[in-house]
């Protein structure tokens, strides 16, 4: 077996020496490399079952990358292909963006209109079991592989949720996830709403079409816009930059800095504003990460929007996809994101200008007897305007406002703020 160990050492050293050339011929830690080769040989010689060299080296690479940070990873041929497909807006699975925390899988955000969201999975949920398998000890890649599967098959997620005493169990049916990343509607006369659930290659184009449609419904001009980035886990960087650019007329949108000079990139805005200065309220929460934090940070620093909600996730690192051959790639963290004012998003997130709790409100029951008004009194004076006083009935508006407040309290608060900003703007 001595000869096998020596051969394994030679294989390992050849691989590592190749990597040394790419690292500007820095001095290699030979003692540590000898330890690696020794362990490699011991596994080949003494492990309870035979292990293929290719598999063993792939495990070593995965372990090396996973030890750096939660976002660096090795991508085999299948994983690399799925990553490319995912950015286009169609992929298989449950419809959740996940990360690793304390050895468990944590839900960053469920994606809109996916099996996970419909089942009741929420941002911040911690997955502790996948069917009957405990998550503790799994790598993130292994957990993701288990959650993926054929359309129509079921998986049971056991989840620990803040504020809930006992673990929760959710059975989710896998499906092909086709994400429509942009949704829009008119909230009230002249006030628009755009939701971006995930930044994809087409997100900016779809958002601009949505805003154009909202403008037509508002007779050519919007009084204000709510941009909803809650539970938006990020996605394509260029999409976030382009969305920010749509509302900014000048200045830096975001810049990146890493150890390598080539990692310093500045992204600046072109001189146009699709809303022509109309006020914007951006909704964020703990499920808003990465690209959505770039948008919120840029609009906040340029004082172009009011940020409402709760503090964002804090994923402010840049991952570069580096192909290593025709069948594999490395996703490597190479830089950090910084907002225009120089704030690092990493592990900090974006603090909203106005904090909002995630609460549910219930409308009070209407009294059986309406309160009397002056106009109800016998022989009341006329208002003096030359016209009969209207005993106005705003029940329709009141009911609509109550309905929005009940279904989405944070959105209702954003709309109220937009109305106030529009009033101040109209008064000069």
Residues with active-site annotation: 290, 301, 315
Nearest to 408 by CA among 248, 207, 193: 193
Nearest to 197 by CA among 120, 108, 127, 274: 108
Do the beta carbons of residue 281 and residue 224 sit within 8 Å? yes
In three state form, how does the secondary structure of 348-415 look? CCCCCCEECCCCCCCCCCCCCCCCCCHHHCCCCCCCCCCCCCCCCCCHHHHHHHHHHHHHCHHHHHHH
269: exposed, middle or buried (C-beta count within 10 Å: 0-12, 13-18, 19+)? Answer: buried
Token pair of 189 as six digits: 């006369």
Residue 319 DSSP SS3: strand
DSSP 111: P
Burial of 270-308, coded b for 16+ CB within 10 Å and e otherwise, reads eeebbbeebbbbbbbbbbbbbbbbbbbbbbbbbebbbbb
Phi and psi at 203, nearest 5°, equal -60, -45
Alpha helix positions (H), 76-190: 77-86, 115-119, 140-147
Q: Residue 58 and residue 36: Cα distance in Å, rounded?
A: 14
Token pair of 254 as six digits: 């975001």
Q: Residue 191 and residue 66: Cα distance in Å, rounded?
A: 46
- Long-range CB contacts (within 8 A, 24+) of 7-14: 8/37, 8/40, 8/41, 8/44, 8/53, 9/34, 9/37, 9/38, 9/40, 9/41, 11/40, 11/53, 12/36, 12/37, 12/40, 13/37
SS3 content of the chain, % helix, strand, coil (to 5): 35, 25, 40
Strand ranges (E), 72-153:
73-75, 90-93, 96-101, 104-110, 126-130, 133-134
Q: Residue 336 and residue 69: Cα distance in Å, rounded?
A: 13
């Amino acid at each position: 077996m001595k000869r096998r160990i020596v051969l394994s050492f030679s294989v390992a050293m050849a691989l590592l020496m190749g990597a040394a050339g790419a690292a500007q011929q820095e001095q290699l830690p030979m003692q540590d490399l000898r330890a690696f080769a020794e362990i490699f040989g011991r596994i080949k010689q003494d492990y309870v079952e035979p292990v293929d060299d290719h598999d063993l080296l792939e495990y070593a690479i995965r372990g090396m990358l996973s030890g750096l940070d939660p976002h660096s990873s090795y991508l085999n041929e299948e994983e690399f292909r799925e990553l490319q497909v995912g950015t286009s807006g169609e992929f298989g699975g449950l419809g959740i963006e996940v990360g690793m925390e304390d050895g468990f899988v944590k839900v960053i955000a469920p994606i809109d209109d996916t099996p996970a969201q419909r089942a009741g999975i929420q941002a911040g949920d911690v997955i502790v079991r996948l069917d009957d398998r405990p998550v503790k000890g799994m790598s993130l890649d292994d957990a993701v592989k288990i959650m993926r599967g054929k359309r129509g098959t079921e998986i049971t997620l056991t989840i620990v949720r803040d504020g809930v005493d006992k673990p929760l169990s959710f059975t989710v049916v896998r499906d092909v996830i086709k994400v429509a990343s942009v949704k829009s509607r008119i909230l009230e006369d002249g006030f628009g709403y755009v939701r971006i659930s995930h930044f994809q290659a087409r997100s900016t184009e779809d958002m601009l079409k949505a805003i154009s449609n909202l403008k037509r419904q508002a007779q050519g001009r919007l009084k204000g816009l709510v941009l909803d980035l809650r539970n938006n886990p990020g996605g394509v960087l260029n999409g976030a930059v382009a969305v920010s650019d749509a509302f900014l007329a000048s200045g830096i949108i975001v810049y990146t800095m890493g150890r390598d000079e080539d990692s310093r990139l500045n992204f600046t805005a072109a001189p146009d504003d699709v809303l022509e200065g109309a006020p914007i309220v951006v909704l964020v929460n703990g499920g808003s990460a990465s690209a959505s934090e770039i948008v919120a940070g840029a609009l906040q620093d340029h004082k172009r929007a009011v940020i409402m909600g709760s503090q964002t996730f804090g994923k402010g690192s840049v991952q570069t996809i580096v192909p290593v051959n025709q069948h594999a790639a490395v996703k490597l963290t190479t830089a950090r994101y910084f907002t225009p004012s120089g704030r690092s998003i990493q592990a900090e997130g974006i603090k909203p200008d106005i904090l909002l709790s995630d609460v549910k409100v219930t409308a009070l029951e209407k009294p059986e007897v309406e309160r009397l008004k002056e106009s109800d009194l016998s022989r009341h004076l006329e208002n003096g305007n030359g016209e009969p006083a209207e005993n106005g009935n705003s029940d329709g508006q009141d009911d609509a406002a109550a309905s929005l407040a009940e279904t989405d309290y944070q959105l209702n608060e954003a709309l109220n703020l937009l109305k106030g900003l529009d009033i101040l703007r109209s008064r000069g």
